[in-house]
Structure 1
Amino acid sequence: MDHHSPLLVTDKGIRPYIEKLIYGVALFMPLEPLVGDILLWSAIVLSLYDQGRQHLIKRPTGWLSCTVVAYVLWVGVSSVISEHRDWSLVGWLYQVVACGGIYYLMRTYMSEYWQWRIFLQFFLGSALLVCVIGVYQYVFVPNVHMHEWVDAKQFPKLMRRMSSTLQNPNLLGAYLLMVLSVAGSYVLTYFKAKRYEEVYKILPVAIVVFLVMLLTYSRGIWVSFAAMVLYWGIVVERRLLWSLLGIPIVLYFYQGEIAGRLWSLFHGQDTSVALRWALWDSTTYIIAEHPIFGIGWNTFWLVYPDYNYFIQAPVILMYHAHNLYLNMLAEIGIPGFILFMTVIIGHAVAALRLDGDGFRKSAQIGVGTLVVAILVSGLSDFELYSHQVAVVFWQLLGWVGAFMKVNEKSHK
């Protein structure tokens, strides 16, 4: 493994520029998606030119990389067949191809130890900036969308939910959950290895991100974080499982808004819970009528009104099913859903089986934690609908995909 400084590495051609664009995506996508997209597509175009000029474009290596390509292509086929083809193809290009592109960029151009460390620095630095902006908004900026995010009758004391640059508290919570999956894995792994200097570098960021995540007041995200702790307890440190016993104790004695939001999951008085049950029921009819190819990527909001029996008002739009599993099944069909699940679970399982030093092992555990978080939060929402969240998610998968590619080369 090459541990040299990037200043000592001399790459020819445009590869260094592509690498810098990848770092830029990690920094700007959570902060300003327009800038992030410009950097992402610039990197994709440059990489295609670079690979074509050197005649390096080959078939995907490794079965997981093949499943990513198959997933992207299947969603494209589903979009072509869709009754809303034009809209679906635009969504496929903007969302799925872009996510496949960042995965490809990470796997192809992030092949050195120093690159992985720089990426982590940009990733965590961006998260810290998102938190700072969120705190500023939380304190000083009126929350004009509050009535859209909370049932005021059920939660009269809840006057603030943090959204920051993700524009929605649930999406912010999902993004911060991704950050915590990586940062928390590094903290726990380094602490167990008694590498305290490394712990002190990442722990402050993890604490800030955790506190901001609480202020999103997103119940699904909190439950997902508990699932992450359970995963860490199984994979990293068994003693961590004892911390889960403190949750019901804290909820029993603490009667603030956080506790109130969590307890509301267990009764039907909250309109958002009732709406989700009706939404999910209606979505099952979409799946039943389009089981193979689905209705087409990003067309849920166009098709759902024909199946909606809960709210008939035409001004009410549902952009997704608020459930990862149902939304994927509805839009890309059963084969597409299987491919997606194979990709993310496959990366989590394969990452844990890889050898590597403490840095790589921490990242690999982090991606496993990330997948657990997404699968649990996906029970009550579909955060990957967000372009920002989806690109960050696939960039992290590509990060570990780069580890796998290096591992494959070393074995050859």
Structure 2
Amino acid sequence: MNEFLSGTWEERLPKLIRYLLYGVVFCMPLQPLLGDILVVGALLLACVDVIHYHRSIRPTMTFQWLVIGFLVWSLLATYNSIRPLFTLYSWLYNVGMYGGIYFLTYHYMRSSSQWRTFLRLFVISAVVVCLYGAYQYTMMKMTLMDQWVDAAHFPGLKRRMFSTLQNPNLLGEYLLIVISLAGTGLLQAWHDRRWTLIFWMIPALVLMSVCMLLTYSRGIWLSMAFVVLYWGIRINRRLLLLLLAIPWVLFFYHGEVASRLWSLFSGEDTSVVLRWALWDSTTYMIYDHPLLGIGWDAFWFVYPDYNYFIQDTHTIIYHAHNMFLNVLAEIGIPGALFYFGAIYIHAIKARGMSPESLHHIAAYGIGAVLVGITVSGVFDHDLFSHQVSIIFWQLLGWVAAVIKERNNDIQ
């Protein structure tokens, strides 16, 4: 507090913006409305900082122009939408805030102490989400939690955890992101023999892993297996032994976890069949609108024109249940190249970091996160969620800040 009160307003304003960004890290997973208020507050203060004090927050690294390209092209795609006003609103609320939180985090978190604070809040917030999820899972009425259960195909599955993330798949995606980064941090702490950090990180990761399991989200489980595979190849080969647990579960454990995993290979699961139909319909959208797409967040308006599988006109399909096809359909091929280029270039640029622990956590952590998101993106489009995407884009901004500092050291 003394640090904030000292200095001129020109010096205090960046500190205030940074505190709001810390608030976003902690609050967005728990209460997205409060998180949005903090994002908007930080954006408004940043406008004052830029206009009044002439501080620049433009891209300073070449690859960040891909982020700008995504922002601009997805805005242009509004022109093609059958509901242009709604699409423009959705672009402002979603894409505009993604870009805002990315560049704010990048420009206002520039020291190792600030990055560590970000990581602590990132993990602590996830622990709180899991604790609430555990309470919800064990104490709340069944009727509040059984809407995500397919009783016909999984009669033994009574409830799935979703905590503060609206549905089980989104909770699974959120925990996948946090475990990928925090797990990388634990491996780095083990390498550095930082026993105090290891002591509290292990129970936190065990709690998150159990909650991920209780989402019963098969795509997330499979994605986590690929994250472990990534860790085994890039960090420590002994971690590959963890993958031996998968055949053990499939062949020796006869519970709902095993039945959910086996259902991935069954053509009888309606959710699997639905996805194949959605993907097929989405390819026709891409073929008809290859340049600008159908407009950001316009999938659920356009899908009925391509629907041949679901005959109930009251059923709303909000996205394609495939991240790659959905982005291609909504913002076209050029927009998708900007979008995925902007995401994956962060992992490429983060490679070759110095042995300093934060650099390694950023480099291998974002690699693990993107491996998980890529695999889960084949089966679903959880970044459709405003809440999850804000968390993800703020994390990308954090990684970009670490990359920038590394580049300055090299120069």
The TM-score with structure 1 as length reference comes to 0.95
Kindly state the Cα deviation for residue 120 of structure 1 after the two structures are TM-superposed: 1.1
Aligned mates of 2:330, 2:22 — CA distance in 1: 32
Q: Deviations over 1:290-341 (max 9, x none)?
A: 1111000000000001100001211100000000011001001111111111
Kindly state the Cα deviation for residue 407 of structure 1 after the two structures are TM-superposed: 2.3
Task: Tell me, yes or no, if structure 1 residue 104 matches structure 2 residue 103.
Answer: yes
Aligned mates of 1:252, 1:217 — CA distance in 2: 18
Task: Tell me, yes or no, if structure 1 residue 67 matches structure 2 residue 66.
Answer: yes
Aligned mates of 1:174, 1:246 — CA distance in 2: 21
Q: Secondary structure at the match of 2:379?
A: coil
Kindly state the Cα deviation for residue 360 of structure 1 after the two structures are TM-superposed: 2.6
Which residue does 2:344 correspond to in 1? 345
Would you say the 8 A contact 1:183–1:203 is kept in 2?
no
Q: Secondary structure at the match of 2:321?
A: coil
Which residue does 2:312 correspond to in 1? 313
Task: Summarize the alignment of residues 112-261 of structure 1 with structure 2, pairs less than 5 Å apart.
Answer: 112-144=111-143, 146=145, 148-261=147-260
Residue type at the aligned position of 2:101: I
Aligned mates of 1:70, 1:110 — CA distance in 2: 23
Task: Summarize the alignment of residues 232-311 of structure 1 with structure 2, pairs less than 5 Å apart.
Answer: 232-311=231-310
Which residue does 1:403 correspond to in 2? 402
Task: Summarize the alignment of residues 49-68 of structure 1 with structure 2, pairs less than 5 Å apart.
Answer: 49-57=48-56, 59-68=58-67
Would you say the 8 A contact 2:4–2:16 is kept in 1?
no
Aligned mates of 2:319, 2:331 — CA distance in 1: 13
Counterparts in 2 of 1:324 and 1:386: CA distance versus 1, 3 Å = same
Residue type at the aligned position of 1:219: R
Percent pairwise identity: 49
Q: Deviations over 1:178-210 (max 9, x none)?
A: 110111001112213333232123222111111
Kindly state the Cα deviation for residue 277 of structure 1 after the two structures are TM-superposed: 0.8
Cα RMSD, aligned residues only: 1.8
Would you say the 8 A contact 2:66–2:338 is kept in 1?
yes
Q: Secondary structure at the match of 2:309?
A: coil
Would you say the 8 A contact 2:323–2:377 is kept in 1?
yes
Kindly state the Cα deviation for residue 7 of structure 1 after the two structures are TM-superposed: 8.2
Would you say the 8 A contact 2:20–2:41 is kept in 1?
yes
Residue type at the aligned position of 1:199: I
Counterparts in 2 of 1:312 and 1:334: CA distance versus 1, 3 Å = same
Q: Secondary structure at the match of 2:47?
A: helix
Q: Secondary structure at the match of 2:143?
A: coil
Counterparts in 2 of 1:279 and 1:145: CA distance versus 1, 3 Å = farther
Q: Deviations over 1:38-87 (max 9, x none)?
A: 00010011112102222223641112211111111111111133232111
Task: Summarize the alignment of residues 84-103 of structure 1 with structure 2, pairs less than 5 Å apart.
Answer: 84-103=83-102
Q: Deviations over 1:202-234 (max 9, x none)?
A: 222111111100000000000000010011111
Q: Secondary structure at the match of 1:144?
A: helix
Would you say the 8 A contact 1:189–1:236 is kept in 2?
no
Would you say the 8 A contact 1:78–1:332 is kept in 2?
yes
Would you say the 8 A contact 1:151–1:270 is kept in 2?
no
Aligned mates of 2:366, 2:310 — CA distance in 1: 38
- Structure 1's unaligned 5+ residue stretches are none
Counterparts in 2 of 1:305 and 1:365: CA distance versus 1, 3 Å = same
Aligned mates of 1:120, 1:9 — CA distance in 2: 26
Would you say the 8 A contact 1:134–1:164 is kept in 2?
yes
Q: Deviations over 1:235-274 (max 9, x none)?
A: 1101111221331123210111001000000011111111
Q: Secondary structure at the match of 2:351?
A: helix
Which residue does 1:371 correspond to in 2? 370
Residue type at the aligned position of 1:181: S
Aligned mates of 1:108, 1:305 — CA distance in 2: 42
Would you say the 8 A contact 1:6–1:114 is kept in 2?
no
Alignment coverage as a number of residue pairs: 408
The TM-score with structure 2 as length reference comes to 0.95
Aligned mates of 1:6, 1:270 — CA distance in 2: 57
Aligned mates of 2:160, 2:333 — CA distance in 1: 36
Kindly state the Cα deviation for residue 170 of structure 1 after the two structures are TM-superposed: 0.2
Kindly state the Cα deviation for residue 141 of structure 1 after the two structures are TM-superposed: 1.2
Counterparts in 2 of 1:206 and 1:90: CA distance versus 1, 3 Å = same
Aligned mates of 1:318, 1:146 — CA distance in 2: 21
Which residue does 1:390 correspond to in 2? 389
